[in-house]
Amino acid sequence: MFHIIKLRKIWYIISLAIIVVGIISLATQGLNKGIDFTGGNIIELKFNKPTSMQDVRAALTEYKLEDSQVQSSGDNSYLIRTRALSQEESDKAFNGISQKLGGATMLRNQLVGPVIGKELTQKAILALVVASVLMIIYITWRFEFLQGIAAILALLHDVLVMVGLASLFQIEIDSTFVAAVLTIIGYSINDTIVIFDRIRENMRLHRKEELIDVINGALWQTMARSINTVLTVVFVLVSLFFLGGSTIHNFVGLLLIGVISGAYSSIFNASPLWYDFRRMQKQRKRQVKAAA
Superfamily classification of domain 8-33+116-291 = Multidrug efflux transporter AcrB transmembrane domain (1.20.1640.10)
Predicted pLDDT at 148:
93
Q: Of 93, 52, 95, whose CA–CA distance to 71 is shortest?
A: 52
39 C-beta neighbours (distance < 10 Å), count:
17
Give the pLDDT confidence score for residue 92 in this predicted structure.
86
Domains 8-33+116-291 and 40-112 fall in the same CATH topology: no
> How far apart are the C-alpha atoms of 158 and 165, rounded to whole Å?
11
Q: pLDDT per position in the chain (292 positions), as tens?
A: 789 999 999 999 999 999 999 999 999 988 888 777 777 888 888 888 888 888 888 888 888 887 787 877 777 888 888 888 888 888 888 888 888 888 888 888 887 776 666 677 787 788 888 888 999 999 999 899 999 999 999 999 999 999 999 999 888 887 788 888 888 888 888 889 999 999 999 998 888 889 999 999 999 999 999 999 999 999 999 999 888 766 688 889 999 999 999 999 999 999 999 999 999 988 888 888 887 6
Nearest to 65 by CA among 49, 42, 47, 31: 42
Per-residue pLDDT, 129: 87
- Whether the predicted model's global pTM rises above the 0.75 cut: yes
Q: What are the domain boundaries of the chain?
A: 8-33+116-291, 40-112
- What separation in angstroms does the CA of 259 have from each of 8, 112, 130, 183? 21, 32, 22, 9
Residue 45's pLDDT is what?
A: 87
Which has the closest alpha carbon to 81: 112, 53, 46? 112
State residue 117's pLDDT score: 62
β-pair type (172-173, 32-33): parallel
Give the sign of the dihedral formed by CA 19, CA 20, CA 21, CA 24: positive
Match domain 40-112 to its CATH number in 1.10.10.10, 3.30.70.3400, 3.40.50.720, 3.40.50.2000: 3.30.70.3400
Contact 127, 180 (CB under 8 A): no
| pLDDT at residue 57, as a whole number | 86
